[in-house]
Amino acid sequence: MKRRFHKVCTSVKEQSYISYAKIASAAGFSDMNLIIIKATSPDDLPVHEKYIQHLLKLFSISPSSCHSFAISFTRRFGTTRSWRVALKSLILLHRLLRSVQGKSPLWAELLWIRSNGLISLYPCHFKDVTSSSSTCSNSYTKFVSSYAQLLDEALNCVDLDSKKLENQQHQEEKNETFQEKMNEMGEILEILPQLQSIIDRVIDCYPIGVATKSFIVQSAMKHIIRDSFVCYTKFRREIVVVLENLFEMSYRNCIAAFNIYKKSAVQTNKLCEFYEWCKAKGLCGYYEYPLLEPIPHIHIKALESFLSGMWQLTESSSSSWSDQESSSAFTEEDGRQQQQQQHMIKGIVDEEKPLIDLEGEYDDDNDDF
């Protein structure tokens, strides 16, 4: 009885919002709150592209409208008890974040809203009360919460789409000093765990129960999956760069790189299972999925042996192998051991190189469902 009462109240409230939006629109008003209400109506249709383009146009004309959007989104997502409204609000936010630059006013406003406690994507306090049973309600609530956590994580990764990361393949053409190169490796080692965390959140967006059959959930999953393609490809490209420079890095960075590489071996297996499930559900085309290459256990053991054979450096040491090579007189045995280590790392890198580059493959023009 209580659930039915909540369902009726939520339905009445949503209908009043829609009626208000229609009246205001007919009267010629253009309010951000009304646009969001119309874009996230509680029906089974995906978010219409015209609302995405309308909002992007407003952002380009008036950057201050990003603040209005952040406030209106917070009000809409934070007060609804309808899983359709909540999910479509997240899809709307996701589409907009993909369409603007990482350091745009929209990102800044959302981060400000979150830091001041006006909205909480994680932990997500949403709970659906419009479904016919508690089982259905839990299914939709779980998916909305997982999706919200993914977007919350994405807000922390503004620099993932920076030009520096996108154009690192061109860095080889520049004359970099050794210190600049090592600084670059340090930056990559900070980015890689963020990419891994995003991939973990993607895998967590695994719909269960009735949510797997929802058209809106499937629409959201396609956006999530396509973003994971880009994250995975970026990660594999950057880990190859790290492995290529492993012999020159400090002991601390080598340990960090090894931990990242070791986690990727487990994560790749989980991602492979996730993608197989997505393919079976017909989410995205087979040709879109990147080639996942599991990391053999022998590679992990080889790197463990490699690290154990390194010079004993303290955690606070900032010296690199190349510095020691230039300042120390190696014995013939040391030289042979160094060559063997280089050969081993090169073998691992060579096996990592045949990757699919998906840069530029996933445009918003292909996101209409």
Q: Is residue 280 domain-resident?
A: yes
- Give me the phi and psi of 41, to 5 degrees please: -65, 150
Q: Is residue 137 domain-resident?
A: no
Identify the domain containing residue 233 by its residue range: 181-311
Provide the pLDDT confidence category of residue 238 given band limits of 50, 70 and 90.
very high
SS3 338: helix
Same structural domain for residues 302 and 202? yes
How many domains is the chain partitioned into structurally?
2
Same structural domain for residues 190 and 260? yes
Q: Is residue 361 domain-resident?
A: no
Same structural domain for residues 188 and 294? yes
Same structural domain for residues 112 and 196? no
The CATH number given to whatever domain includes residue 105 is 1.25.40
Mean pLDDT computed over 134-152: 96
Q: Which of 103, 119, 135 delimits the end of a domain?
A: 119
Same structural domain for residues 188 and 300? yes
Q: Which of 119, 147, 171 delimits the end of a domain?
A: 119
Give me the pLDDT at residue 340, please. 54
Same structural domain for residues 185 and 83? no
Same structural domain for residues 109 and 210? no
The CATH number given to whatever domain includes residue 227 is 1.20.58.150
Q: Is residue 208 domain-resident?
A: yes
Q: What is the pTM of this model?
A: 0.79
Q: Is residue 188 domain-resident?
A: yes
Provide the pLDDT confidence category of residue 308 given band limits of 50, 70 and 90.
confident
Burial 207-217 (b: 16+ CB within 10 A, else e): beebbeebebb
Q: Is residue 131 domain-resident?
A: no
Does position 300 have pLDDT exceeding 60, yes or no? yes
Same structural domain for residues 200 and 114? no
Residue 66: CB partners within 8 Å, gap ≥ 6?
Answer: 59, 104, 105, 106, 108, 109
Same structural domain for residues 92 and 189? no
Q: Which of 97, 119, 141 delimits the end of a domain?
A: 119
Mean model confidence pLDDT for the chain: 81
Provide the token pair at 161. 């789409």
Mean pLDDT computed over 288-292: 94
Same structural domain for residues 92 and 211? no
Mean pLDDT computed over 221-225: 97
Same structural domain for residues 87 and 207? no
Q: Is residue 236 domain-resident?
A: yes
Same structural domain for residues 109 and 199? no
Provide the token pair at 289. 């999925």
Does position 256 have pLDDT exceeding 50, yes or no? yes
Are residues 289 and 271 in contact, defined by beta-carbon separation less than 8 angstroms? no
Alpha carbon distances (Å) from 165 to 49, 171, 231: 29, 10, 12
Higher confidence at residue 104 or residue 142? 142
Q: Is residue 266 domain-resident?
A: yes
Instruction: Output 132-139 pairs: Cβ under 8 A, ≥24 positions apart.
Output: 134/3, 135/209, 135/210, 136/209, 136/210, 137/3, 137/83, 138/209, 139/207, 139/208, 139/209, 139/210, 139/211
Mean pLDDT computed over 218-228: 96
Percent of the chain at pLDDT > 70 equals 70
Provide the pLDDT confidence category of residue 318 given band limits of 50, 70 and 90.
very low
